[in-house]
Chain A
Amino acid sequence: MLMTEPTPDPSTQASPANVEQALYEKRQKIYPREVHGTFAALRTAAVFTLLGLFYGLPWLSWDGRQAVLFDLPARKFYVFGLTFWPQDFLLLTLLLMMGALSLFLFTALAGRLWCGYACPQTVWTEVFLWMERLVEGNRQQQMKLDQAPWSARKFRIKATKQLLWVSFAAWTGFSFVAFFTPAAKLGQELATFSVGPWETFWMVFYGFATYGNAGFLREQVCKYMCPYARFQSAMFDKDTLIISYDKERGDPRGSRKAGADPKARGLGDCINCTMCVQVCPTGIDIRNGLQYECIGCSACVDVCNDVMAKMNYAPNLIRYTTQHAMDGKPSRIIRPRVLVYSGLLAAVGLFFLYLLFSRSPLALDVIRDRNQLYRERAGKIENVYTLKVLNLADHAREFHVTADGIEELELSMANGAISVPAGGVLDVPVVLRAEEDDLEAVSTTVHFTLTAADDAALKFTHDAKFLGPRP
């Protein structure tokens, strides 16, 4: 069965007493050894691309405004040339569904690609590890430093690392908030110490979360907190790419002199150098088989290939493979679950595109006057509203508004024509007037209809309540 617990190594098999102890044992800090190679390079590329987008996008301009801005205070999202409004929420939902389905599809095909290369937890942890290595040195130096008693040198090194971490986390918090408050404005506010309380809070909160997750929690997030880590095995089958140690070829393991013939000594290709364990960010031994802690980062693949090259052995003692391939059966890419996931993904994606390109270029929101329910004037009942007229088109437009739902309902507003700039919202105060006799209830539903002046087919209707005295 896939994703079971590791087969325990007989030498370390725990007696019940040891288990009891392990229960309460403090977590051992993991010092992942630095690794170079094909997959490490891929991950570095992913780190630069993803974090480049995260830290860079807020500084990109488009048509005189920030290219990607989730303007929550104004309830508008800008993504390059597109503007999204609260009524486009369905699009966001579909986008999230597409994200989830892609995750299922890629998991079924290639295992935990997301975990190994794209998850923010991995990406930020990688950067925090780089900073740790920069200041504290390599794995051995880090372990030595942590074991050493406190000294001025240790304090200096630790303080430098913390300074780097905290600054980077603060910059991360700033960038996060810059997706919601324009980066240039936020920078200015920061320089003059006039950042709003909520922005300050979110900067600190997000910065702190980054620091905690990437600096301290690290693999524990994946092991204990991540929902995906717990259900991803449901997407696995025997044709899914997994990282695996070739037991047939590697065992029996053992150290040997360079150039010695392993066969003569009865050994496999694994020289038991434990490099694969040292590079593992979750501290497992991949040679024990597939384990739920494995995030598929393939650091062990890279490092083992280095060792194999040094030994003049063939590469890929640890490699990406499938359960079927290991059992000597052919692996298939096209299989029912892959078809189901990609079919659903395509369907949702097409629906998303259809909705995106058939969005109504006009919209209307109706807000009742907050100060009074209704007023009586000249024998008639009046209700006051503010119409929010949204022009979602990329050019300015004029609109007309009508209202119905009550007999002889009158609508009046300060000026007849409503002219709204491209992508703009105009607040239009209007008054609805009705005879008291025409009202059958305290509250009557009325319909406001917005029509584009240049195209009578472009309409948008919004309902509102008309309040009056008890009939």
Chain B
Amino acid sequence: MLSVFVPTRWMPVPARFGAVLWLSFLLAAVATGIFFSAIDPEELRFCVTFPEVSRTGAYTIGFFLFWLLTAASGVLAVAFTYPPASESGTETPHVDD
């Protein structure tokens, strides 16, 4: 079983995903703000060809790409903080209180 799906006493599995999603949401919002205040999506047209979207559309897509990135890194970080099954000796990693 993937270690992100192992519950602990402290936190049920859905709550763990909730935490990752919400924290990555906040960071994605900050990243979107910084990115688009420096870069106008209209100017990107000059060097990149992408389907015709409005600025609002570009901001939205940008935000979700950032969110995808931050959430992915969050989930991976959570998964990597568990000992691998071989280390813990059981299929389900041992979890301390």
Chains A and B form a bound pair: yes
- Interface on chain A toward B: helix, strand, loop, or mixed SS? helix
Decide: B56 and A73 in contact? CB cutoff 8 A: yes
Q: Does B57 contact A (CB under 8 A)?
A: yes
Decide: A227 and B23 in contact? CB cutoff 8 A: yes
Q: How many A-B residue pairs have CB under 8 A?
A: 63
The stretch from A198-206, A249-257, A261-269, A341-349 touching chain B is A198-206
Decide: B15 and A224 in contact? CB cutoff 8 A: yes
Q: Which residue of B lies closest to A226 (CB)?
A: B22
Q: Does B77 contact A (CB under 8 A)?
A: no
User: Is the interface on chain B under 10, 10 to 19, 20 to 34, or 35 or more residues?
Assistant: 20 to 34
A220 touches which one: B7, B15, B42, B54 (CB < 8 A)?
A: B15
B23 touches which one: A89, A225, A370 (CB < 8 A)?
A: A225
Distance between A443 CB and nearest chain B CB, rounded to angstroms: 13
Please judge, given known A-B contacts A24-B7, A73-B54, A89-B38, whether A221 and B22 are in contact too, CB under 8 Å.
Answer: yes
B56 touches which one: A23, A199, A225 (CB < 8 A)?
A: A199
Q: Does B83 contact A (CB under 8 A)?
A: no
Q: Does B75 contact A (CB under 8 A)?
A: no
Chain A residues near B16: list those with CB within 8 A.
224
Please judge, given known A-B contacts A23-B8, A367-B46, whether A224 and B56 are in contact too, CB under 8 Å.
Answer: no
Within 8 A of A (CB), among B41-75: 42-43, 45-46, 54-57, 59-60
Q: How far is the CA of A27 from the CA of B57 in the complex (A)?
A: 38
Decide: B40 and A23 in contact? CB cutoff 8 A: no
Q: How far is the CA of A415 from the CA of B71 in the complex (A)?
A: 51
Q: Does A75 contact B (CB under 8 A)?
A: yes
Decide: B56 and A196 in contact? CB cutoff 8 A: yes
Q: Does A86 contact B (CB under 8 A)?
A: yes
Decide: A72 and B46 in contact? CB cutoff 8 A: no
Distance between B33 CB and nearest chain A CB, rounded to angstroms: 7
Q: Does A368 contact B (CB under 8 A)?
A: yes
Q: Does B79 contact A (CB under 8 A)?
A: no
Q: Does B19 contact A (CB under 8 A)?
A: yes
Q: Does B76 contact A (CB under 8 A)?
A: no
Q: How far is the CA of A23 from the CA of B40 in the complex (A)?
A: 48
Decide: A225 and B15 in contact? CB cutoff 8 A: yes
Decide: B37 and A86 in contact? CB cutoff 8 A: yes
Decide: B12 and A27 in contact? CB cutoff 8 A: yes
Q: Which residue of B lies closest to A370 (CB)?
A: B46
We find that the number of chain A residues with CB closer than 8 angstroms to chain B is 29
Q: Does B1 contact A (CB under 8 A)?
A: no
Chain B residues near A220: list those with CB within 8 A.
15, 18
B43 touches which one: A19, A197, A223, A367 (CB < 8 A)?
A: A367
Bits for A180-221, please: 1 = Cβ < 8 Å to B, else 0.
100000000000000011110110000000000000010011
Most buried by B among A197, A201, A225: A225
Q: How far is the CA of A198 from the CA of B8 in the complex (A)?
A: 39
Q: Does A396 contact B (CB under 8 A)?
A: no
Please judge, given known A-B contacts A19-B9, A23-B7, whether A86 and B38 are in contact too, CB under 8 Å.
Answer: yes
Please judge, given known A-B contacts A224-B16, A227-B26, whether A23 and B9 are in contact too, CB under 8 Å.
Answer: yes
Chain A residues near B38: list those with CB within 8 A.
86, 89
Distance between A292 CB and nearest chain B CB, rounded to angstroms: 11
Q: How far is the CA of A370 from the CA of B40 in the complex (A)?
A: 14
Q: How far is the CA of A138 from the CA of B21 in the complex (A)?
A: 33
Please judge, given known A-B contacts A23-B7, A23-B8, A224-B15, whether A73 and B55 are in contact too, CB under 8 Å.
Answer: yes
Q: How far is the CA of A219 from the CA of B92 in the complex (A)?
A: 29
Distance between A469 CB and nearest chain B CB, rounded to angstroms: 19
Chain A residues near B12: list those with CB within 8 A.
27, 224
Q: How far is the CA of A354 from the CA of B63 in the complex (A)?
A: 31
Decide: A224 and B8 in contact? CB cutoff 8 A: no
Bits for B1-40, please: 1 = Cβ < 8 Å to A, else 0.
0000001110110011011011100100000011011101
Chain B residues near A226: list those with CB within 8 A.
22
Q: How far is the CA of A195 from the CA of B9 in the complex (A)?
A: 46
Chain B residues near A159: list those with CB within 8 A.
none
Chain A residues near B9: list those with CB within 8 A.
19, 22-23
Decide: B57 and A198 in contact? CB cutoff 8 A: yes
Q: Which residue of B lies closest to A25 (CB)?
A: B12
Bits for A75-97, please: 1 = Cβ < 8 Å to B, else 0.
10000000000100100100000
Distance between B73 CB and nearest chain A CB, rounded to angstroms: 15
Distance between B34 CB and nearest chain A CB, rounded to angstroms: 7
Chain B residues near A199: list those with CB within 8 A.
56
Can you show 23 pairs from A to B with CB atoms below 8 A apart?
A: A22-B9, A23-B8, A27-B12, A73-B54, A73-B56, A86-B37, A86-B40, A89-B33, A89-B38, A180-B56, A197-B57, A198-B57, A202-B60, A217-B18, A220-B18, A224-B11, A224-B12, A224-B15, A224-B19, A225-B18, A226-B22, A368-B46, A370-B46
A residues contacting B by CB (< 8 A) are 19, 22-24, 27, 72-73, 75, 86, 89, 92, 180, 196-199, 201-202, 217, 220-221, 223-227, 367-368, 370
Extra pairs beyond A73-B55, A196-B54 (10, CB < 8 Å): A19-B9, A75-B55, A86-B36, A180-B56, A198-B56, A199-B56, A201-B60, A224-B18, A367-B46, A370-B46
6 pairs of A and B residues whose beta carbons are closest in the complex: A224-B15, A89-B37, A225-B22, A198-B56, A370-B46, A86-B37
